[in-house]
Structure 1
Amino acid sequence: MISTYRAVVLTRNGGLDALELRELPLEAPGPGQVRLRVRATGVGFTDIIMRRGYHPDAPKLPFTPGYEVVGDVEAIGPGVTGFTPGQRVAALTVHGGYAESIIRDAGEFIPVPEGLDDAEVTALILNYVTAYQMIHRVARLRAGQSALVTGAGGGVGTALLQLLRVAGVQAYGVDSPPKAGLVRELGATFIDSRERPFDEAVRKRLPEGVDVAFDGIGGDSIARCTRAVRRGGRLISYGFTSAVGRHGGGDNVGGLSGLLALFVGTRLLGRRPSVYGITQLYQKDPSLLREDLSQLFTLLAERRIQPLIAHRLPLLAGRAGQELLERGGIRGKIILLRDVPKKT
C-alpha cells in the first residue's frame, strides 16, 4: 500500500530555489473530508506573489502552492456522502495543488462533467471564475456596453475577453504588440500599451470613455484606467502585479500610489471603484463559485469559450512553471498535469 506522496513545497519566501520537491506521508481523510489524486493544477502569478511573501491568503510556511485543482476522489472520510471513488471533481484550493495528493473538506469539491479536458477545466476555476464574477456579479455588464481590459493577453485577460464577447460587450484589450493578434482573435479592439498612454487611445475611439475597466496591474495603470472610463462608470481592480514585479521585490511606493488612485482619484473624477478578490468572495458565499463554475462548464462544453493553455507541464514541475511565468510573454494559462500528452 502506498504510504507517501510527492509535492512541491515552498520552504521559505524568496526565489525559485525556495521550491523543493519532497516526499510526504499520505494521510487518511478525516471526518467530512475527501482525499484526491490530483490530475491537474494551475500556475499563476498568485503563486509567485505567495512565494515572495506578499499574498494575504498565503498559509504559514512551509506549504505547497497551487490555487486550483482537478482530481479523482481517492478516499472518503467518515460522514461524507455524495462522492464515489474515481469521481472527477474540481476545487478552488488557494494552496496545495502542486502535489500528487490533496485533502480538503468535502464541501469544497465540485463534480466535473464528463467530456471536458482537464487543463481547460483547471483554467476555469481561477481565471474564468474571476472574469465571470467581475463581469456579472460586480460590473453587471449588459450587451451593448463597453469594457477595457489591461493585461489582455494573460490568463485572466483572455478569459475576460472571451466572456465579454459571449455577453455581447465591446471589449478594448491593452497589451504589448506581440499579443495584438491574440487580442483581436478574441474579438477585442487592440490597444498598444507601448505606443501611447492607453487612456488617450481609448478616448480617441470612444470619446465618452468605456463603461467599465478591469485592471490587474495597479500602479500607474489605475489612473489611466480611471481616465479611460466614462463619468459614472466603474473601475474594477483585481490585482497589483506592478507593485510586486515579475523578477524582484515589492514596490511599496507604486503599490501605495495605485491604492490612492483607486480609492481617492477615481471618486474625485466621478468614477466608481471596486476591489475584487475571488478568495474573499468564496469565503463569504461558497455557493457562488459552484453556481458560476457550473455556468462555465456549460459554456466550455458548448465551445462558446476555449481557455488558452500556454504550456502543459508535468504535475510536479511547479518550479519550471513559475520560471516560465516570470519570464513574461505567456499567452493564457500554464497547467501542470499528471498525464502530459506525449509530443508527436
Structure 2
Amino acid sequence: MTTDTMITEVVLPGVVEPDGLRLHRRPMPAPRRGQALVQIDATGISFAEQQMRHDLYPGQPRFPFVPGYDLVGTVRSVGPDTDDSLIGTRVAAVTKTGAWASHAVVDVDDLTPVPPDLDPAAAETVVVNGVTAWQMLSAADLRAGQTILVHGANGGVGTVLVQLGRHLGLRVIGTAAARHHAALRDLGAEPLDYRDPATPARIRELSPDGVDAVFDPVGGPGVRTSYGLLAPGGRLVVYGNAAALGSARSVVWVFAKLLTRLYAWNALPNGHRAGFYNFWAGRLIRPAAFRRRLRTDLGIVLDLLRQGVIVPQIAARYPLTEVSAALVFAEARSRAGKVVLEP
C-alpha cells in the first residue's frame, strides 16, 4: 500500500508515561453513509487526555485507544448518499477520542465549518476550549462591570475565559503561577499567584463585595474557598476535576464527593449557585439539539477568533510523530495556552 492509503494514529496502550505512547499505521478507513473522512490539520492536547493517561477521565474507553478530543481538518471524501459538496472544505469537530491521528472518520452532523482564512492551529485552540468558555459565561448570566475569578487562567480554557470576559465588559481576576502573570496582564486579567496562601485575602481586597462568578477547573478542597469568595447571588462553576490526579481515592469517589458538595450548597439560603459544567450534557437525551447548540456556539467562537476578539494562545506546535515530547511539554505547564499537534 502507498502512503496515501494508510492512516497514522497515536495509541494509548494503558497507564503509561508519555514515552509509552505508540504510533500505529493501518489502512485508511472508508466513511459510511452520513460520514466524512477528514484529513486532520490540527488537533490538541487538553487536560482530558492527561487524565486519560492516568485512567482518571470519567467515561473514557478501555485501553488501548486513540486519544484526541477535537480536531480541525479538511474533508477528503464522504460516504455513499452523503453531500459531496463537503469535500475540500475545512471543518472542526469534537470527537472526545480518536483525533490524535492523520485522518478520522466523523459523522457529518458533528462537523462545523471553519473560515478558510483561519490558521488550523489557531482554530484548534477554540474548538472545545472556546465552546466551553462561551457556554459557561453564557449560563452564568453576567453583566458588564461585574467581576469574575478564573482559576488556571493560563490554561487552554482559562485564556479564552479571560478574553471573552474582557470582551463582555467583565473585570477578570485570574490565578496562575507567577511566570504566566505578564501574559495574563496582556490579555486584560489581574493575575494572582495560586500558590500564595494570601491570595484569597487579596481577592477580597480587590473585590470587597465578592466576585460574581468563579470558574474552577480543579475541584477538590479549593472549591470551598472559591465558594466563600462569591458575592450575593454569585455562581461557582466547576468544569474539571484536576484534583483527582493528586488523590489516592478513585476518580469516581472524588467526583461524587465534589458533586455532592456542590448540590448541597445549592440548598443553602444565601442565593449562591454552584454546579458542574458538563460539555456533553444532553448528548444522549437530545442529540440533535446538542449538535445544533454545539455548531452554533462553535460558529460564534470561530467568528470571534476571525475578528481578533480572541487571540489564539498556542503554547507550542509539534508534529504528530513527536506526541510524547508534546505531552511532556503540555504537562509541564511552562507556557500559557494549548499545545497543538499538526499531523
* 1:341 matched residue in structure 2: none
CA distance in 1, matches of 2:282, 2:131: 11
CA distance in 2, matches of 1:213, 1:304: 22
* 1:321 matched residue in structure 2: 326
Structure 2 counterpart of 1:302, from 307, 313, 317: 307
For the structure 1 residues 326 and 97, does the alpha-carbon distance in structure 2 shift closer, same or farther, using more than 3 Å as the test? same
Cα distance, 1:257 vs structure 2: 5.5
* 1:201 matched residue in structure 2: 202
Structure 1 counterpart of 2:64, from 62, 65, 84: 62
Which of 286-295 and 257-266 deviates more? 257-266
* 1:262 matched residue in structure 2: 262
For the structure 1 residues 52 and 234, does the alpha-carbon distance in structure 2 shift closer, same or farther, using more than 3 Å as the test? same
Give the residue type in structure 1 aligned to 2:331: E
* 1:273 matched residue in structure 2: 274
Cα distance, 1:308 vs structure 2: 0.6
* 1:287 matched residue in structure 2: 292
**Alpha carbons 2:147, 2:207 under 8 Å: kept:** no
Which of 93-102 and 7-16 deviates more? 7-16
**Alpha carbons 2:113, 2:299 under 8 Å: kept:** no
Which of 319-328 and 88-97 deviates more? 319-328
* 2:76 matched residue in structure 1: 74
Give the residue type in structure 2 aligned to 1:28: A
For the structure 1 residues 318 and 72, does the alpha-carbon distance in structure 2 shift closer, same or farther, using more than 3 Å as the test? same
**Does 2:20 align with 1:15?**
no
* 2:317 matched residue in structure 1: 312
Cα distance, 1:333 vs structure 2: 0.5
Cα distance, 1:260 vs structure 2: 4.6
Give the residue type in structure 1 aligned to 2:154: G
SS at match of 1:47: helix
The 5-angstrom pairing of residues 49-198 of structure 1 reads: 49-81=51-83, 83-136=85-138, 138-198=139-199
CA distance in 2, matches of 1:277, 1:260: 15
Which of 97-106 and 320-329 deviates more? 320-329
**Alpha carbons 2:215, 2:237 under 8 Å: kept:** yes
CA distance in 1, matches of 2:322, 2:294: 27
Cα distance, 1:251 vs structure 2: 6.7
SS at match of 2:59: coil
CA distance in 1, matches of 2:342, 2:127: 15
For these two proteins, the number of residue pairs brought into alignment is 335
TM-score normalised according to structure 2 size: 0.91
* 2:341 matched residue in structure 1: 336
**Alpha carbons 2:70, 2:93 under 8 Å: kept:** yes
SS at match of 1:83: helix
For the structure 1 residues 83 and 140, does the alpha-carbon distance in structure 2 shift closer, same or farther, using more than 3 Å as the test? farther
SS at match of 1:317: helix
Q: Once the two structures are superposed, what CA deviation does each residue of 1:16-52 show, in whole Å capped at 9, x if it has no partner?
A: 2442111112121111111111111011110111121
CA distance in 1, matches of 2:151, 2:135: 17
For the structure 1 residues 215 and 21, does the alpha-carbon distance in structure 2 shift closer, same or farther, using more than 3 Å as the test? same
Cα distance, 1:268 vs structure 2: 3.8
Cα distance, 1:256 vs structure 2: 6.0
Aligned-pair identity in percent equals: 35
For the structure 1 residues 250 and 86, does the alpha-carbon distance in structure 2 shift closer, same or farther, using more than 3 Å as the test? farther
Cα distance, 1:216 vs structure 2: 0.3
Cα distance, 1:255 vs structure 2: 5.4
Cα distance, 1:64 vs structure 2: 0.8
Cα distance, 1:265 vs structure 2: 4.4
Cα distance, 1:61 vs structure 2: 2.5
Give the residue type in structure 2 aligned to 1:217: V
CA distance in 2, matches of 1:241, 1:303: 30
CA distance in 1, matches of 2:140, 2:279: 14
**Alpha carbons 1:68, 1:126 under 8 Å: kept:** yes
Structure 2 counterpart of 1:46, from 42, 45, 48: 48
Name the Cα RMSD after superposition.
2.1
